Structure 1
């Protein structure tokens, strides 16, 4: 029994010493991890910790950090991550992170991860496993970290795919790996929708390249990150929705097209808005008024009333000033005063030889009024004959029924505007919509400035049309800013959902805007189209031959008005003769 007691005492002392040694080792590891976490916080600040896995050394370390912490022992959250994105992720083993919540995966994809490895687990296998999940900011430490002070960090674009970094070194543990992709491909598909993207053959390298204000953005990003472009082209009879479908199916990294905010597109597959534009109608410029309408157009009703009132006042002043009495003032003398009428029309009229000063003053007023009126109307007439004004414009969506004009629209646009319950679109009578199932046919008509239809166009595309119409003798279409389906239309570039370098692409996009390159590309869109044979450098307005003289139909309105006035004059003359004969016959009858 004595030997048994002595043996038990020795075993107890041995266990106590072993536990003390392990406690000291854990204390050393905790101190090293605390120093490491503080160093990482200095490199890139984080205000939240999330720990995946069951009880490990991280749980005791985080007690000494004044940082809010979320413990996920099951390996996955059951809710979308709505906390700050400045998060540091700690993993108790290579398989502790089993996150399955989609929004949490996207939001925490770029966050830095620190994995604690126990046992002989190769770091390259851990890097490969996380690379398959497209998570690349990975660092690892083993259970002998307190002695080795070695950190294993993943390097995706090198062989081997990890690097050993000593804690005493000043080398960064986490780097932005996608700033240099070492020739890795970036998959894209171009819709070849001019002037966004156009294909051409480089004469020096004989390679097929693309240009355009959207294509340039992507091409220069590929050069910036030292990648290669894996280019596909949308088939001619395919829908634009096929590109978006391939983006959602992770078959394309960055699409060379634009997605509008009118579509019900999840933000996971859309970049930060690339352009802010409008979505309005491109209407035909009304034809110019014929010459026979100009005569009536230059005479406004209010001006006619003012001229009539002035005629009556001058007639009354002439009657009064001639005898300085109102005795001869009658309605017939005022309305049929030939002196006032001929004077206002700039014609010669009788002037009394011994006129009084008031009468001379009235004639001066009459002369001044005739000069002003004839000069004004002559200037209007000659100006409108030189360049006749256009006809009435469409002021509202309901006016299409009055003007009997149709709008060419694609089936995709009809579905989008209908699904979004656009109030302006509902005002257009359906009989005045020409719907094209093939969107390329509608675009071809619009690019050719076909005058059979009006078209829908975004503000960024209209800038190229406006530049092209500067070559025309007369513009064919105008941008109806008052007839818009959306005045705040966001255009985004479709991106793959888990694209690991999304932040680099969006930063590149913002920098191109900041430097003014996007506006420069847009302003040169038409010239790029001409250079690559996508638009003709000629006048499509088909100007009419200039007529040096007027035709009889051009003055038909004035001739009709002249004949009507002559007819009225003849009737007045005959009535005066008939009235005189009647009065003479009445006198003779009374005498007899």
Structure 2
């Protein structure tokens, strides 16, 4: 009986594809009509019902009605006038000629059946139908239409509310804090805000997570391209590795579960080297102003001495020996019985020397206890010009830089690493040798980890981002039956704040997994004595002055011997 009904459904499809013309062409039957074809099939298979299903806007049924009483050769002429034919008349004629119930399923079927057929006939026509249940295993269900059938629930119930222990296949991928896999109290835990989402979905829908492609370990997962391939070839239903859709098409992806910014994660600017403290105290305008004051005082002092009969050398008009020594806090020789003006100038030199030396010592001590930082890198051009390299994983580098042509000019600043685990170990060790590009979700973990450091090592540069608001979704089948339920749960968990909560507890998941320890990786600010290299600029200055001194000495000796020789010759 079931085979007969299935053949009757197949017969309807054959009619829609103009199977009558095919049979007539094969046997060269000029007067072979559609009703003859149905009668032959009825004698062969003895079907008990005939069902036609079509769209209201289609014209095939009207064409069939015209072909019922007309041969195949004349059918093409009848089709031209078939738009005005009554579809209900076709159903009546088919029932009379075939002697079986025939039903036309369309938008008008309900009213048509009520007007022209009795309830008993309707029961005969649709007495049996089939359904199926995909969960937990595929089963074909046979049902009978009864007057009280609707009182027991819908004819075709919603199956996705309870999957009845269905094995939902998935593949693991990605990195923390999205997915954190670890063993806790003898059970395998899927942590991270992506892992918590999948386990919550399985719990809510009453399904069992099944991993047909097990990961080698709790920390080694397949790359992103393998995750997508496993979904596309039907090996798994869903990939837990969040991925950015290609060409901004979400076909084969869920609704975006995470929106991230890819920004620079740069080391805190290092301290200025100690040997530069001697120079940066008098940097810029302060140094120029100090030299101008020394020049003015030297000029005034030289003029005052010249006025009172003490003519100085020409060099003293620019830098007087007494002024220079006094400003540097050294002793100098004064003239005896100096006039009031000269003594007043000497007093100014004393005051200036005290102000400069005390200010210099105060700034120097402050710099030594709390050293200033080097200037920050304010743009990608600054990074390109600096000695720092941006350390990136090869697939991430290709994914980020290939999408925008204007970023390719910054490729020289990138150091690409093909080994993913070496890249992770270098980044997670807070190696300040490099600059990194990380998503904002990863920064949340590093920010919490640095709270136990004496001093933070890195900071997130929200002003230096390659991309903003990147949507990431779970790869699924293009026509997955779970797509709607997954999208609904993504919206619900985001609305209720569960995604944010799972992101916050990812730090504790990493600690339970043993991948994060309370270890201070920062530098210790301990006291240390001054070393030779701290006086680098002092030694350089001393060397330059010594060279100048020797040069001047040799020049004076040469000039002296030259004058002496000329005197002897005379």
TM class, shorter-chain normalised?
A: 0.5 to 0.7
Contact 2:174 2:221 (8 Å CA) reproduced: no
What pairs with 1:567-582 in structure 2 (closer than 5 Å)?
none
Q: Distance in 2 between matches of 1:350 and 1:191?
A: 82
**Counterpart residue number, 1:93:** 105
Contact 2:170 2:237 (8 Å CA) reproduced: yes
**Counterpart residue number, 1:522:** 503
What pairs with 1:306-455 in structure 2 (closer than 5 Å)?
306-319=289-302, 332-348=315-331, 356=340, 360=344, 369-389=352-372, 397=380, 403=386, 405-417=388-400, 419-429=402-412, 433-436=415-418, 438-450=419-431, 453-455=434-436
Contact 1:192 1:234 (8 Å CA) reproduced: no
What pairs with 1:542-557 in structure 2 (closer than 5 Å)?
543=523, 546=526, 548-557=528-537
Q: Distance in 1 between matches of 2:321 and 2:561?
A: 23
Change (3 A) 1:328 1:583: farther
**Counterpart residue number, 1:559:** 539
Contact 1:319 1:326 (8 Å CA) reproduced: no
**Counterpart residue number, 2:199:** 219
Contact 1:141 1:151 (8 Å CA) reproduced: no
**Counterpart residue number, 2:96:** none
Q: Distance in 1 between matches of 2:248 and 2:267?
A: 33
- 1:195 matched to 2:195: no
Task: Indicate which of 272, 275, 291 corresponds to 2:255.
Answer: 272
Task: Indicate which of 490, 494, 515 corresponds to 2:475.
Answer: 494
Change (3 A) 1:313 1:226: farther
> In angstroms, what is the RMSD of aligned CA positions?
5.0
TM-score by length of 1: 0.60
What pairs with 1:525-540 in structure 2 (closer than 5 Å)?
525-540=506-521
Q: Distance in 2 between matches of 1:162 and 1:533?
A: 49
Contact 1:234 1:243 (8 Å CA) reproduced: no
Q: Distance in 1 between matches of 2:307 and 2:164?
A: 106
Change (3 A) 1:533 1:349: same
Contact 1:277 1:459 (8 Å CA) reproduced: yes
Q: Distance in 2 between matches of 1:445 and 1:194?
A: 15
Q: Distance in 2 between matches of 1:428 and 1:280?
A: 16
Shift of 1:532: 1.2
**Counterpart residue number, 1:106:** none
Q: Distance in 2 between matches of 1:231 and 1:359?
A: 95
Change (3 A) 1:551 1:119: same
Contact 1:54 1:92 (8 Å CA) reproduced: no
- 1:260 matched to 2:238: no
Q: Distance in 2 between matches of 1:347 and 1:202?
A: 73
Q: Distance in 2 between matches of 1:326 and 1:184?
A: 112
What pairs with 1:72-83 in structure 2 (closer than 5 Å)?
none
Shift of 1:240: 1.8
Deviation per CA, 1:247-269, whole angstroms, max 9, x where unpaired? 334544443221125x4363122
Q: Distance in 2 between matches of 1:484 and 1:504?
A: 34
Shift of 1:371: 4.6
**Counterpart residue number, 1:485:** 466
* Unmatched segments (≥5 aa) in structure 2: 1-52, 59-102, 109-121
Deviation per CA, 1:278-316, whole angstroms, max 9, x where unpaired? 213444556554433432344423332222122223334
Q: Distance in 1 between matches of 2:446 and 2:204?
A: 32
Contact 2:127 2:144 (8 Å CA) reproduced: no
Partner-residue secondary structure (3-state), 1:493: coil
Q: Distance in 2 between matches of 1:291 and 1:219?
A: 55
Q: Distance in 2 between matches of 1:215 and 1:371?
A: 68
- 1:508 matched to 2:479: no
- Which has the larger displacement, 208-217 or 416-425? 416-425
Change (3 A) 1:529 1:318: same
- 1:243 matched to 2:224: no
TM-score by length of 2: 0.62
Q: Distance in 1 between matches of 2:290 and 2:322?
A: 15
Partner-residue secondary structure (3-state), 1:550: coil
Higher RCO structure (Cα 8 Å, ≥6 apart): 2
Change (3 A) 1:249 1:344: same
Shift of 1:211: 0.8
Shift of 1:457: 1.8
Shift of 1:212: 0.8
* Unmatched segments (≥5 aa) in structure 1: 1-50, 57-90, 97-116, 135-139, 156-160, 164-175
**Counterpart residue number, 1:230:** 210
Shift of 1:480: 4.5
Contact 2:173 2:222 (8 Å CA) reproduced: no
Change (3 A) 1:260 1:377: farther
Deviation per CA, 1:312-349, whole angstroms, max 9, x where unpaired? 23334445677899997996333222343234334455
Q: Distance in 2 between matches of 1:493 and 1:266?
A: 13
- 1:128 matched to 2:132: yes
Partner-residue secondary structure (3-state), 2:479: coil
Q: Distance in 1 between matches of 2:284 and 2:267?
A: 29
Contact 1:281 1:455 (8 Å CA) reproduced: yes
Partner-residue secondary structure (3-state), 2:132: helix
- 1:305 matched to 2:288: yes
Partner-residue secondary structure (3-state), 1:487: strand
> Which protein is bigger by CA-based radius of gyration?
2
Partner-residue secondary structure (3-state), 2:239: coil
Q: Distance in 2 between matches of 1:283 and 1:93?
A: 67
